[in-house]
């Protein structure tokens, strides 16, 4: 199964999640009804036996009036809680989960050897897979664990514990991060966010029971003291019934999450081509006293996000846990594993890790890795499934990046200057006009930094421009909303200053602003509304026409016709240039992003065929193809020109 198949499977898993949620609500509603009935009967023991409640008396077991009231209250609690939590998560994204666990943002400009090693690994993984570089959060926990959380790649964050940072070497960190990136690529992170919101509601019934048990008379003239016996019994029963919700929540987590962990392990091995990396990380967890435990009040709510079992309870190694047993996970990677874990000494291992991390920063990558693409199917197979060659190529590109530019990219202040410098035209006259506009719109200090770095960015190799744009994302997400407003306005002004928009300017603006808008505006995700190729055909024409014209000159018409033939049986001619504006292309990508995963696969395959038709991928074609893939939310691996 490829990336698009996993996306389709994630949709089906979400449907299964909703079905299980509905069944849980029905079960809890019935349990609450009988708890209320029993509470009413117990309450009548302390008052006049002939007095009924809502027409309910001790000689009957069913009352529609009581059922309507109990079910209404139950649905209000469950659905209200779920909607509230999903809304809160939507506004906060993956960062909301990290902060809920007490995580602190790890600055992109951190100079600590251990921090730098982790941030480099995350950058490599993101650039290799075509995902936005996610912000990293550090949890001050001694257990070895990590997680990825977010509704979409744009709002996804990666979290890691102090124990994992200090006890895992680079290969092991790479294995753990590959596991978490696999969750992002396979759609698991988004599904887990929805699951967290839904499950929050069904665990609120027990809280309602606690409220009833502790409720006091509201009137100061009342002679009663303490909770009414009926409310006390009803509250106690609701609290007990609420455990049904807790049990159902754990069951749903296990039903949906467990096999996804095996899949992410396998994907991580494929990603890094280093089974020992993730297997050794699991072995260290098994031999470490704290294991993968995360001691926090919110751990139970987010236990299904973690790399390892974050809970230590009576069922931690049981079939009921959200994660498979360590031994089983390791044996699937290393069949000869005998189940023995060596004890881990924290001080010894962490000290050695710090020394190794410092040494790694001084070592340059070995000779270049050739990445060849022989067919559209070959490229499509790598969408959402990056391999070790992609990681090595990303490492080499980062090593080629001048140190000063890397420093600019990692600082939230100077990252803006790096973006401005990327947009400056190499024509002296046009650049002068752009700088005049930028001086009026940008922050004065950032403008000065732009003047400082512009020449170095101008000398940057063409294939390093988009990787630099990827690298600046975490730093740019540290801006305040007013700073982002000025930044967005300045970027647009610089692009328009010379009264023309280049292909690179369009690609850079679309990728950056699309990803950053999700961070600062929290707009609702686009719905899925296209299920047939016929409904999106006009938008496909716009995209393929621009791709054909970008790199094929006089052959554009025949390339367009060949690419369209992959999607429809009829022959289609290349439309004239009046519909070839970037605004039309932008609108077309927005619409195509609302198609099903299988339709996106067909569209992207036709786009790749269009680019690769002459056997060569130019820098411009590679950049435009990355923009198409990004617009479809299909992470494209690095494209090599030539």
Residues 544-563 have pLDDT tens digits of 998 888 877 788 888 888 88
Is residue 53 classed as helix, strand or coil in its secondary structure?
strand
Rounded to an integer, the average pLDDT of 255-280 is 86
Superfamily of domain 100-187+261-333, CATH level 4: Metalloproteases ("zincins"), catalytic domain (3.30.2010.10)
Q: Is the dihedral of CA 599, 604, 610, 613 positive or negative?
A: negative
Question: Which pLDDT score, from 0 to 100, does residue 636 have?
Answer: 81
Three-state secondary structure call for residue 254: helix
Averaged over 319-325, what is the pLDDT?
74
pLDDT in tens, 409-418: 998 889 999 9
Q: Does residue 218 register a pLDDT over 80?
A: no
Instruction: Evaluate if residue 422 carries a pLDDT over 50.
Output: yes
Give the strands of the sheet with 157-161, arranged side by side.
104-105, 136-139, 157-161, 146-149
Instruction: Catalytic residue, from 124, 166, 180, 449: name it.
Output: 180
Q: What are φ and ψ of residue 149, in 5° steps?
A: -140, 140
Whether residue 52 has pLDDT greater than 60? no
Give which of 365, 352, 461 is closest to 124, Cα–Cα.
Answer: 365
Quote the pLDDT of residue 450: 94
Q: Give 113-168 pLDDT, tens digit per residue.
A: 999 999 999 998 998 888 889 999 999 999 999 999 998 888 899 999 999 999 99
| Residue 15: exposure state from Cβ atoms within 10 A (0-12, 13-18, ≥19) | exposed
* pLDDT attached to residue 476: 93
The answer to whether residue 210 scores a pLDDT higher than 70 is no
Provide the sign of the torsion angle of the four alpha carbons 618, 621, 623, 626, taken in this order: negative
Contact, 160 vs 118, CB < 8 A? yes
What mean pLDDT comes out for the span 35-57? Answer: 59
Q: How far apart are the first and last CA of the chain?
A: 30
Active site residue 601: no
Q: Could you tell me what percent of the chain has a pLDDT over 70?
A: 83
Task: Give pTM, 2 decimals.
Answer: 0.81
Per the rule left: phi > 0, alpha: psi between -120 and 50, beta: everything else, 499 is left
- H helix runs in 361-458, sequence order: 376-382, 388-400, 403-410, 415-423, 428-441, 444-458
Longest alpha-carbon distance in the chain: 96
Residue 558: both structure tokens together? 């025949």
The per-residue pLDDT for 287 is 93
Tell me the pLDDT tens digit for each residue of 476-534.
998 999 999 999 999 999 999 988 888 889 989 988 888 888 788 766 677 788 889 88
Continuous segment of H or E residues that includes residue 161? strand 157-161
Higher pLDDT, 405 or 60: 405
- Model confidence at 53: pLDDT above 60: no
Cα distance between residue 612 and residue 614, in whole Å: 6
Judged against a pLDDT cut of 80, whether residue 259 lies above it is answered with no
The pLDDT of residue 399 is 83
E strand or H helix that includes residue 158 = strand 157-161
- Residue ranges of domains in the chain: 3-92+193-255, 100-187+261-333, 401-516, 533-631
> Can you tell me the mean pLDDT for 50-72?
66
What is the rounded average pLDDT for all residues in the chain? Answer: 83
């Amino acid at each position: 199964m490829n990336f698009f198949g996993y996306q389709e499977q994630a949709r089906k898993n979400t449907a299964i999640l909703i079905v299980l949620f509905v069944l849980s609500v029905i079960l809890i509603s019935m349990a609450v009804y009988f708890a209320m009935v029993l509470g009413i009967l117990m309450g009548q023991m302390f008052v006049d036996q002939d007095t009924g409640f809502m027409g309910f008396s001790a000689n009957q077991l069913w009352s529609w009036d009581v059922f309507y009231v109990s079910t209404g209250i139950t649905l209000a609690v469950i659905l209200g809680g779920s909607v509230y939590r999903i809304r809160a998560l939507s506004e906060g994204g993956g960062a909301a989960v990290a902060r809920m666990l007490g995580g602190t943002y790890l600055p992109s400009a951190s100079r600590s050897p251990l921090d730098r090693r982790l941030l480099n690994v995350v950058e490599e993984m993101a650039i290799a897979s075509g995902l936005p570089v996610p912000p990293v959060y550090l949890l001050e926990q001694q257990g070895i664990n990590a997680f990825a959380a977010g509704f979409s790649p744009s709002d996804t964050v990666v979290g890691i514990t102090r124990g994992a940072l200090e006890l895992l070497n680079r290969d092991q960190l790479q294995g753990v991060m590959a596991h978490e990136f696999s969750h992002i690529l396979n759609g698991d992170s988004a599904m887990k966010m929805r699951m967290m919101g839904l499950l929050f509601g069904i665990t609120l019934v027990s809280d309602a029971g606690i409220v009833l048990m502790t409720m006091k008379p509201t009137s100061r003239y009342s002679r009663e003291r303490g909770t009414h016996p009926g409310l006390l019994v009803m509250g106690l029963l609701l609290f007990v019934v609420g455990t049904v919700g807790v049990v159902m929540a754990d069951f749903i987590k296990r039903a949906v999450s467990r096999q996804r962990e095996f899949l992410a392990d396998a994907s991580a091995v494929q990603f890094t081509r280093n089974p020992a990396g993730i297997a050794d990380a699991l072995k260290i967890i098994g031999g470490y006293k704290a294991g993968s435990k995360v001691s926090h009040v919110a751990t139970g709510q987010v236990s299904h996000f973690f790399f390892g079992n974050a809970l230590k309870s009576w069922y931690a190694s049981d079939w009921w846990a959200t994660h498979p047993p360590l031994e089983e996970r390791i044996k699937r990677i290393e069949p000869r594993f005998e189940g023995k874990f060596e004890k881990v000494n924290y001080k010894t291992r962490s000290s050695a890790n710090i020394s190794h991390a410092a040494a790694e920063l001084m070592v340059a990558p070995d000779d270049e890795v050739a990445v060849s693409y022989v067919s559209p199917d070959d490229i499509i197979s790598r969408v959402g499934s990056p391999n070790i060659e992609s990681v090595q190529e990303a490492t080499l590109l980062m090593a080629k990046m001048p140190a000063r530019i890397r420093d600019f990219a990692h600082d939230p202040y100077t990252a803006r200057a790096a973006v401005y410098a990327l947009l400056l035209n190499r024509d002296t006259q046009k650049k002068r006009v752009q700088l005049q506009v930028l001086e009026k719109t940008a922050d004065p200090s950032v403008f000065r930094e732009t003047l400082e770095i512009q020449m170095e960015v101008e000398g940057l190799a063409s294939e390093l421009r988009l990787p630099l744009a990827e690298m600046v994302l975490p730093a740019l997400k540290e801006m305040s909303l007013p700073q982002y407003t000025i930044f967005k306005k300045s970027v647009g002004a610089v692009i328009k200053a010379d009264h023309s928009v280049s292909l690179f300017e369009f690609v850079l603006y679309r990728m950056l602003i699309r990803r950053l808008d999700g961070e600062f505006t929290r707009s609702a995700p686009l719905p899925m509304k296209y299920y047939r190729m016929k409904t999106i055909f006009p938008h496909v024409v716009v995209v393929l026409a621009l791709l054909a014209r970008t790199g094929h000159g006089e052959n554009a018409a025949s390339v367009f016709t060949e690419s369209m033939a992959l999607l429809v049986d009829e022959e289609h001619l290349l439309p004239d240039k009046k519909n070839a504006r970037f605004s039309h292309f932008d609108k077309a990508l927005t619409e195509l992003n609302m198609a099903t995963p299988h339709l996106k696969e067909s569209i992207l395959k036709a786009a790749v065929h269009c680019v690769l038709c002459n056997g060569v991928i130019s820098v411009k074609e590679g950049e435009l193809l990355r923009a198409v893939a990004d617009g479809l939310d299909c992470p494209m691996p690095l494209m090599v020109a030539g």
